[in-house]
């Protein structure tokens, strides 16, 4: 199985008007059958750990990164 790191961001404007991504939370999914399941699991974990009903109220986007897990 494959591991995933899902990183949640909020888009903010700097004082000079430039848009930048501000890290909100990083979730490690050690094992998932596919990327879609990993994303859903990361969304649920974000909501549970941050005590929010919907992650989209606190983050604007996410990035998914694939990690290879050991087969042990």
- Domain ranges (residues) in the chain: 2-68
First to last CA, the chain: 11
- Under 8 Å between Cβ of 3 and 32: yes
- Residue 70 above 70 pLDDT? no
Strand order in the sheet with 61-68: 19-32, 2-13, 61-68
pLDDT in tens, 11-67: 999 999 999 999 999 999 999 999 999 999 999 999 999 999 999 999 999 998 887
What pLDDT sits at residue 2?
A: 83
Reduced to 3 states (helix: H, G, I; strand: E, B; else coil), residue 44 is: helix
What pLDDT sits at residue 66?
A: 81
Pairing of strands 61-68, 2-13: antiparallel
């Amino acid at each position: 199985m494959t591991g995933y790191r899902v990183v949640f961001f909020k888009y903010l404007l700097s004082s000079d008007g430039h848009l930048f991504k501000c890290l909100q939370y990083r979730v490690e999914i050690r094992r998932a059958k596919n990327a879609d399941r990993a994303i859903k699991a990361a969304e649920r974990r974000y909501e549970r750990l941050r005590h929010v009903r919907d992650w989209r109220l606190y983050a604007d986007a996410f990035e998914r990164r694939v990690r290879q897990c050991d087969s042990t």
